[in-house]
Amino acid sequence: MANVVGQRVRRREDPRFLTGRGQYVDDLKRQDALHVQFVRSYQAHARITGLDAEAARALPGTLVFTAADTDLGVSAPPPFIPVDPKMFRPFIASERARFVGDIVAVVLSETREGAYDAAELVMVDYEPLPALTDLRQAADDKVVLFEDVGTNTCIQVPPVNPDSNLFDNCEVVVSGSIESPRLAACPVEPRASVAEFGEDGRLTIWLSTQTPHQDKLVLGLVLGLEPDQVRVIAPDVGGGFGGKGLDVEDVIMGWLARATSRTVRWTETRSENLVAMHHGRAQLLDFELGGSRDGKLHALRVKIIQDAGAYPGLGSFLGNLTALMSSGVYAIPKIETSVSAVVTNTTPTGAVRGAGRPEATQMLERAMDLFAAEISLDPIELRRRNLIPRDAFPVTTASGASYDIGNYEGALDLLLETADYEQLRREQAERRERGDMLQLGIGVSTYVEITNGINETEFGAVDITAGGEAVVRTGSLSQGQGHETTFAQIVSERIGIPVEKITVVKGDTDIVARGTGTYGSKSTQIGGAAAGKASEVLVERAKELAANELEASVDDMVLDLDEGRFHVAGAPEPGLSWFELAFRLDQDDRLAELSAEADFEPAQPTFPFGAHLAVVEVDTETGSVHLRRMIAVDDAGTIINPLIAEGQVHGGVAAGIAQALFEELRYDEDGNPQNANLVTYSMPAATELPFIEVVEMQTPTPVNPLGAKGIGESGTIGATPAVQSAVVDALKPFGVRHIEMPVNGQRVWQAIQEASAAA
C-alpha cells in the first residue's frame, strides 16, 4: 500500500507471542530424542588429571562422551581473527580446564532429568592452577595461561597513527581510564538445539540463533558435510542481544546426532547460560585527550585492552570497532589508537548489544566531561564547539571511519530543548546551594555508531501465492525486532498488497537461499533493502505478464499501489489484481514467474547518531542513585515503523541504563563467578527504570534506497555514558571526577567517602 512505510503498524508477530503460540526450539516435539547435558568445569583453571564416567555410564540408557571418544578437535574463531591456533578452544577439554563452564564431558539420557543426574556422577579430577581474571594482570604476562604461546596477548594490532608528539600543541591534556564492565546478554529464551540425521544423510538442526546460514556453513565445515547436507532451522527466537549464533555446544550436538543415530536435544538452564554463553564488553580503555583552553580538541590517544576470556573468539576482535569509532561525533584532527586482547580464565567474550561501539562512546564522553571540567566550560558547550558540522558530510575521521551523513548539532539542540536543560541546571544549583541530601546530576552524551559495520550483503525474495498474497523470504533473522511487520511494510509499499497479506519467512536454510542473519543492526538497511529491491524487480516482471494478459504494451502498464491492480495508465479498466494475475498464471502452471530474488550490496556501512540526557538524584548519605529522567534523541534515517523503532530505543536504552547502573558479571580472584544468576546479576525490570522519553529525528542516509540506518543498538550506545556522567555530575561538589560502572550504591558511597576524606 502506498505510504505504509512510516506508519505505526502494530507488530504482526505479537498476538502469536502474547498468546503463547510462539514455537521455540524447546517446543519441538520429539518423543524419541536423547537429552544432552554438558558436564562443565567448576574450576577456572586446572589440569584435568582424571575423569571417571563409569557410574554415569552404568545408569540405564545413558551415554557419556569425553574428548577421547570424539574426533572433534578444536574450534577456530572466524578467519579474520588472527589468533595463534594453540589458543583455539577444544570442543571438549581434556587436558586443561580454562574457565568455569568449560565443557569436559557430555552426557546423554532418555530423559532430561536422567541427563542431569548422570552428569552429576561424572567425576573429574582437577589439579588447580593459578587463575587470571584481571585484564591488566593478564597483560603483564607474569602468569601465562597458554605456556606454548608464551604470552596472554592473543591480539595485538599495531598502533594506528602512532605519534610521540601527539600533544605537542595542546594547552590542556586530560587522561584517565574507564572500564566497560563484563555483561551478559540475558535473552529470555536461553540457547537450545535439536539435531537429527535423516535417512538421506542430511543433518537437520533447529537452533536458537541469529545467523542460520552462517551456522550451516560452519557446521558443514567442522562435521565434514557438504553445505547441502546441512539444514539449519531457526524457529521463533526469544531474544539474542548479540549472544546467539553457532557455538561449540551446537557443533557437538550435530556430532552427537551422527554418532548416536538419534535425535538429540539440549536446552540451556539459566545458570548454565550465564557462565557458558559468551559475555560482552569487558574492555579497558586508557585515554588522553588534548586541546586548547578555549575548548577546541586537537588530539586523542586511546589504548584498548579487550578481555577475550578463556579462548579468543569474536570478543578479541571488537576492540577494532571501538578504535574505529573513537572520534565519535567530534572533529578531532589527530587520533592514535592501539588495540590488544588478552586471555583470562573467564567465559569467552563476544558480541552483546552494541558490540565494541558503546565502549568508544563511553570513553570519549568521559574524556569530554573531564576536559570540560579542566577548562571550566559547560560540558554541552565543549561538545558544541567540537561537533562535526552538518555540511562536512561525507567525512572520514582521523580514526578512519567514513561517516555517511549527520546532523549532530540538530540532535543536541532537540535534546536540550526537550529536557529544558537550563531549568535542570537551575534546580541543580539550588540543591547544591541548600546542601540537599539528594543531589541532582545531569549527564549528556552525543554519539555516533556504525551499523552493518563490516558492510555485508543481504538476500531477499518476494513470491506471489495462488491466492494473490505475498511471501517474503529474507536472509535476516528476527529475534524480537519485528521484521515480520517492518519487512512486510517495505514490500507492501512497493507492490500494493496490504501488510496483513504478506508473510515474512526467515530462518530456514532450505527455504531461504542465503543470508547473513541479524547482528550489528543491519537488517533493515540491507535485508529490508534487499526485500525492497526484489519487490521492484517483481513489479516489473508482473507488469510484463499483466501486459501480456491484457494485450497491452508493457510501457503503458502501471501498478495502482492502493488497489494492488495493474492496468494501462489513464485507463483503469480493464485491469488485473495480483490475485487475478496469479490465478491466470497458476492455471497455466506459471505461478513461479511471479517471483523475484535480489541481493542488496551497499556501498558502505551507515552511521546512526543521537544525543541522550539523563537526570539522576543521588542520595549522598547512602550512595543510592535514582534515575529520574532519560531522554533519547536517535536518528536512524528514514523510519520504517516508528512504533517498532521506539520499542527498539526503549529496549536499547534499558540495556544502556542497566550497564551504567546495575549490571556487571564478577569473578573472584580464583575465577569463580560471583553472580551468575538473575538474583545477583542485577538485570533491571521495568520497575527499576524511568519512563523513557523518545524523541524522533530522521536524517535519511544516501547509502541505501530506503534511507534507513540501524536503530537496534543505539540505546545501548547513547544511554550508558549519559547516566554515568549524570551520577558523577551530581557529586561534583564533593570533588568526584570519575566512578567506574556500575555507578550505584557502594561504589558511589565509597567515592563520596574518599572524596570527602581527601578534602
Find cell 537450545 and name the residue: 192
Q: Which of 274, 284, 412, 636 binds ligand MCN (CB under 6 A)?
A: 636
Site for ligand MCN in 440-479 (CB under 6 A): 479
Q: Which of 347, 446, 486, 725 binds ligand MCN (CB under 6 A)?
A: 486
Task: Provide the minimum distance between the beta carbon of 352 and ligand MCN in the complex, in angstroms, as a whole number.
Answer: 7
Q: What are phi and psi for residue 599, nearest 5 degrees?
A: -115, 135
Q: What are phi and psi for residue 539, nearest 5 degrees?
A: -65, -40
Q: Which of the stretches 72-80, 148-156, 521-529, 689-697 binds ligand MCN when contact is defined by CB under 6 A?
A: 521-529
Return the number of other C-beta atoms located less than 10 Å from residue 454's C-beta.
Answer: 13
211 contributes a contact to ligand MCN by CB under 6 A: no
181 contributes a contact to ligand MCN by CB under 6 A: no
Between residues 239 and 358, which has the closer beta carbon with respect to ligand MCN? 239
720 contributes a contact to ligand MCN by CB under 6 A: no
Q: Which of the stretches 47-55, 309-317, 463-471, 630-638 binds ligand MCN when contact is defined by CB under 6 A?
A: 630-638
C-alpha closest to that of 107 among 44, 45, 71, 55: 55
User: What is the SS3 string spanning 592-621?
Assistant: HHCEEEEEECCCCCECCEEEEEEEEEEECC
One character per residue 676-715, x = contact with ligand MCN (rule: CB under 6 A): --------------------------------xxxxxx--
Q: Which of the stretches 27-35, 240-248, 291-299, 334-342 binds ligand MCN when contact is defined by CB under 6 A?
A: 240-248
Q: Which of the stretches 274-282, 371-379, 614-622, 637-645 binds ligand MCN when contact is defined by CB under 6 A?
A: 637-645
**Which amino acid does the sequence have at 640?**
I
C-alpha closest to that of 477 among 278, 193, 213: 213
**Which amino acid does the sequence have at 731?**
L
Between residues 133 and 521, which has the closer beta carbon with respect to ligand MCN? 521
Q: Which of 483, 494, 506, 567 binds ligand MCN (CB under 6 A)?
A: 483
C-alpha–C-alpha distance, residues 37 and 56, integer Å: 12
Q: Which residues make Cβ contacts (< 8 Å) with residue 749, sequence separation at least 6?
A: 622, 623
For the packed helices 248-260 and 212-223, what is the interaxial angle rounded to 10 degrees?
A: 50
Handedness of CA 722, 728, 732, 737 (dihedral sign): negative
Pair type for strands 89-90 and 34-40: unpaired
Q: Which of 338, 346, 386, 524 binds ligand MCN (CB under 6 A)?
A: 524
Q: Which of 193, 211, 347, 523 binds ligand MCN (CB under 6 A)?
A: 523
Task: Provide the minimum distance between the beta carbon of 679 and ligand MCN in the complex, in angstroms, as a whole number.
Answer: 22
Q: Which of 209, 474, 641, 701 binds ligand MCN (CB under 6 A)?
A: 641
C-alpha closest to that of 238 among 274, 207, 264, 215: 207
Return the number of other C-beta atoms located less than 10 Å from residue 149's C-beta.
Answer: 16
Between residues 315 and 528, which has the closer beta carbon with respect to ligand MCN? 528
The DSSP 8-state label assigned to residue 374 in this structure reads H
362 contributes a contact to ligand MCN by CB under 6 A: no
Between residues 22 and 159, which has the closer beta carbon with respect to ligand MCN? 22
Q: Which of 640, 695, 703, 728 binds ligand MCN (CB under 6 A)?
A: 640
87 contributes a contact to ligand MCN by CB under 6 A: no
Strands of 669-713, DSSP E: 692-697
241 contributes a contact to ligand MCN by CB under 6 A: yes
C-alpha–C-alpha distance, residues 246 and 183, integer Å: 20
**What is the maximal distance between C-alpha atoms in the chain?**
90
Q: How many residues bind ligand MCN (CB under 6 A)?
A: 36
Q: Which of 133, 362, 439, 521 binds ligand MCN (CB under 6 A)?
A: 521
637 contributes a contact to ligand MCN by CB under 6 A: yes
480 contributes a contact to ligand MCN by CB under 6 A: yes
Q: Which of the stretches 63-71, 274-282, 369-377, 520-528 binds ligand MCN when contact is defined by CB under 6 A?
A: 520-528
520 contributes a contact to ligand MCN by CB under 6 A: yes
C-alpha closest to that of 713 among 513, 536, 510, 523: 523
Find cell 594482570 and name the residue: 137
C-alpha–C-alpha distance, residues 658 and 30, integer Å: 38
Q: Which of 306, 481, 701, 725 binds ligand MCN (CB under 6 A)?
A: 481
Between residues 12 and 45, which has the closer beta carbon with respect to ligand MCN? 12
Q: Which of the stretches 90-98, 247-255, 404-412, 482-490 binds ligand MCN when contact is defined by CB under 6 A?
A: 482-490
Between residues 211 and 428, which has the closer beta carbon with respect to ligand MCN? 211
Sequential DSSP letters for 480-505: SS-HHHHHHHHHHHHH---GGGEEEE
Q: Which of 518, 659, 701, 704 binds ligand MCN (CB under 6 A)?
A: 518
Local structure of 756: helix, strand or coil: helix
Site for ligand MCN in 642-681 (CB under 6 A): 644-645, 648, 651
Task: Provide the minimum distance between the beta carbon of 319 and ligand MCN in the complex, in angstroms, as a whole number.
Answer: 18
Q: In what order do the strands lie in the sheet with 565-568?
A: 557-560, 565-568, 571-577
Task: Provide the minimum distance between the beta carbon of 532 and ligand MCN in the complex, in angstroms, as a whole number.
Answer: 11
Could you tell me the CA-to-CA distances from 714 to 164, 278, 520 in Å, in that order? 34, 21, 10
Q: What are phi and psi for residue 658, nearest 5 degrees?
A: -60, -40
Q: Which of the stretches 290-298, 378-386, 633-641, 672-680 binds ligand MCN when contact is defined by CB under 6 A?
A: 633-641
Task: Provide the minimum distance between the beta carbon of 18 and ligand MCN in the complex, in angstroms, as a whole number.
Answer: 14
Task: Provide the minimum distance between the beta carbon of 395 and ligand MCN in the complex, in angstroms, as a whole number.
Answer: 21
Q: Which of 257, 504, 633, 639 binds ligand MCN (CB under 6 A)?
A: 639
Handedness of CA 638, 644, 650, 651 (dihedral sign): negative
Between residues 16 and 541, which has the closer beta carbon with respect to ligand MCN? 16
Task: Provide the minimum distance between the beta carbon of 478 and ligand MCN in the complex, in angstroms, as a whole number.
Answer: 7
C-alpha–C-alpha distance, residues 682 and 655, integer Å: 11
Task: Provide the minimum distance between the beta carbon of 664 and ligand MCN in the complex, in angstroms, as a whole number.
Answer: 19
Between residues 240 and 295, which has the closer beta carbon with respect to ligand MCN? 240
155 contributes a contact to ligand MCN by CB under 6 A: no
Return the number of other C-beta atoms located less than 10 Å from residue 580's C-beta.
Answer: 16
Strands of 294-378, DSSP E: 297-309, 334-343
Q: Which of the stretches 168-176, 368-376, 641-649, 722-730 binds ligand MCN when contact is defined by CB under 6 A?
A: 641-649
Exposure letters 384-420 (e unless 16+ CB within 10 A, then b): bebbbeeeebebebbbebebbbbbbbbbbebbbebbe
Q: How far apart are the first and last CA of the chain?
A: 67
C-alpha closest to that of 560 among 544, 571, 545: 571
- Which residues of this protein are in contact with ligand MCN, per CB under 6 A? 187, 239-242, 353, 479-483, 486, 518-524, 528, 636-641, 644-645, 648, 651, 708-713
